[in-house]
Amino acid sequence: METTMKKLVKKSGVALGAAVMALGAYTAQAADTIKVGVLHSLTGTMAISETTLKDTVLMMVEEQNKKGGLLGKKLEAVVVDPASNWPLFAEKTRELLEKEKVDVIFGCWTSVSRKSVLPVIEELNGLLFYPVQYEGEESSKNVFYTGAAPNQQAIPAVDYLMSEDGGSVKRWVLEGTDYVYPRTTNKILEQYLISKGVAKEDISINYTPFGHADWQTRVAEIKKFGSKGKKTAVVSTVNGDANVPFYKELANAGISAEDIPVVAFSVGEEELSGFDTAPLVGHLAAWNYFMSVDSKANDEFIAAWHKFIKDDKRVTNDPMEATYIGFKAWAKAVEKAKSTEVDKVRPAMYGIEVANLTGGIAKVLPNHHFTKPVLIGEIQSDGQFETVWETEAEVPGDAWTDFLPESAKIISDWQNPAVNCGNYNTETKKCSGQNF
C-alpha cells in the first residue's frame, strides 16, 4: 500500500499538472486574442460625449468578430474609465499597455487628455487612434488623428460665415472652454481673421472652465459686442456639458441665429439630443459628417448602430464616424502587415483608403491625418442638421497650420525616409523634439 506521503505527492503532482495545463490553455487563449483598448470617459463632465464612442468601438469589435476577427483571431475589447480626469488618462493608458497588453487603443476626446496620454504611449510604443477634431500643431509617431485638423473644420467654417451665403460676418466672438484645443484653435483663427483684414477690435476672445454653468454675464457681453452695427457671429469651442446651459442662456437672452449665429465645433447630434432644440434652430455646426447625410454607407451604419444599441432613437455623430474610419483603416493595416505589432502596422497604414459615411473616401496620409469632407450644417427642430455648405472633395488634414509663422515652415511626414518625423523644419532641414 502506498504511504500517506506518497499519496499526497501523487495528488499534488496531478493538481500541479492540471494547473500547468490550465495555465497553458489560458496563455494559448490569450495569444489567440487581439486586445483593443477603449479609453473614453464614462463618468464626469465629458461622459455626455465620450460614452457613445465607447459603444461605437464595442460595435466595431463585434462586427469584426462576426467576420472572423483579424488574422484568424478574435478581438477583445478592454474598456477603462478615465472619468474626465486628465492625469487618470495617462494612468489608464499605462494600465492598458503594460497590464492588459492591448494591441491598439481607441480613445480620448479633449486635447488635454490626449496630451496627457502622449508621453506614455510614446514611451511604451503603443498605438492610439484619436477620433475628435483638434487644434493641430502635433504629429506623433504613435497617434493617428482621425478627426478634423483646423483646416478641415475651423478655417472652412470661418470662410463660410465670411461669405455672402454665410451672412458676411464682420465681428467675431471666439468663445471656448479653457484648455489647449480652444486656445490653440482660437490663436490660429485670430491670425487667420487678421490676415483677412479683420480689425483686432472686431475680435473678442473668451474662455470659461469645464462644466461652466452660469452663462448670464458672458452671454450679455456677447449680445453687447454684437450690437455695434456689424454682423457678428460666435465661433464656439465650448466643450462637454457646458454647452447645455450656454445654449439655454442664448435663448433666454433672445439671441437667435438671425441676430448672432453660433457655429460650434464640439456640438453634434449626441449633444443636441439633450437639448430643447426649438430656440437653437438655424445655429450652425461644422463637422465632417452629419447623421442626416444621404448615402448608402450611412444608412447601413445607422441601421447597424440602432441594432447594436437596441434603441432606434439613438443618434450618430461625427466622432463616431471618425472612430469608424479609424477602426476600418487599422483593421486593413493589420491584414496588410499580417501582424498587430505597432512597428509593422504603422507603416502599413500609409495610403490605406476606406469608405467614409458621406459617400467618399478617407485616405491615410503620411502625417498621420486623414482626408475628410467639410460640412456646415444648420440645427433643425428635431436635433438633426441640414447641410447648407460642403466642400467639393475631401480635404487633406494639415498637422501644422499655415497661419502661424512658427508653424508654416513645419511639415510632418512619417513615410519619407528623408524626413521621418512629425515636425520637420523646412528651413533648418531638421526635426525638433522626439516624435512631434
Q: What is the tens place of the pLDDT at every residue in 22-47?
A: 444 333 344 689 999 999 999 998 99
Q: What is the pLDDT of residues 114-156, one digit of tens each?
A: 999 999 999 999 999 999 999 999 999 999 999 999 999 999 9
Report the range of poorest mean pLDDT among 5-9, 58-62, 104-108, 143-147.
Answer: 5-9
Query: What mean pLDDT comes out for the span 211-232?
Result: 96
Size (the chain), residues: 436
CATH architecture of 152-287: 3-Layer(aba) Sandwich (3.40)
- DSSP track, 136-187: -----TTEEE-S--GGGTHHHHHHHHHSTTTT---EEEEEEESSHHHHHHHH
CA pair distance 395, 78, nearest whole angstrom: 33
Which is higher by pLDDT, 170 or 11? 170
Q: 21 pLDDT exceeds 60?
A: no
Residue 311, pLDDT score:
97
Asked if residues 385 and 377 have their Cβ atoms less than 8 Å apart, the reply is yes
* Maximum separation of any 2 CA atoms in the chain, in Å: 107
The phi and psi torsions of 259 (rounded to 5 degrees) equal -75, -65
Cα-atom radius of gyration of the chain, to the nearest Å?
24
For the chain, give the mean pLDDT.
92
pLDDT at 190 over 80: yes
Q: Determine the pLDDT at residue 143.
A: 98
Q: Residue 349 and residue 397: Cα distance in Å, rounded?
A: 15
The burial of 63, by beta-carbon neighbours within 10 Å (0-12 exposed, 13-18 middle, 19 or more buried), is given as: middle
Number of C-alpha atoms within 13 angstroms, CB side, residue 218?
Answer: 24
Residue with cell 433672445: 254
Confidence tier at 61 by pLDDT (50, 70, 90): very high
Is residue 240's pLDDT more than 60?
A: yes
For the chain, percent of residues with pLDDT exceeding 90:
85
pLDDT exceeds 80 at position 94 = yes
In angstroms, rounded to a whole number, what is the distance separating the alpha carbons of residues 436 and 95? 23
Residue 411 has φ and ψ, to the nearest 5°, of -130, 160
The pLDDT, as a whole number, for residue 31 is 65
Partners of 200 in the β-ladder: none
CB-CB neighbours of 381 under 10 Å: 11
Tell whether the model's pLDDT for residue 15 goes beyond 70. no
Asked whether the predicted pLDDT for residue 16 surpasses 70, the reply is: no
Grouping H, G, I as helix, E, B as strand and the rest as coil, residue 407 is helix
Q: Average pLDDT for residues 239-264, to the nearest whole number?
A: 91
Residue 106 pLDDT greater than 70, yes or no: yes
Q: Which pLDDT does position 43 carry in this prediction?
A: 97
pLDDT greater than 70 at residue 212: yes
Written in H, E and C, the secondary structure of 263-279 is: EECCCCHHHHCCCCCHH
**Which of 28-42, 85-99, 319-333 is predicted with the least confidence, judged by mean pLDDT?**
28-42
CB of 103 closer than 8 Å to CB of 35: yes
Which carries the bigger pLDDT value, residue 244 or residue 402? Answer: 402
Tens digit of each residue's pLDDT (9 = 90 or more) over 287-318 = 999 999 999 999 999 999 999 999 999 999 99
Give every CB contact of residue 122 below 8 A, 6+ residues apart in sequence: 140, 141, 142, 434, 435
CA atoms within 13 A on the CB side of 341: 5
End-to-end CA distance of the chain: 73
Residue 158 main-chain phi, psi, to 5 deg: -65, -40
Indicate if the pLDDT at residue 398 is higher than 60.
Answer: yes
The answer to whether 139 and 410 have CB atoms below 8 angstroms apart is: no
Residue with cell 504613435: 142
- pLDDT band, residue 274 (cuts 50/70/90): confident
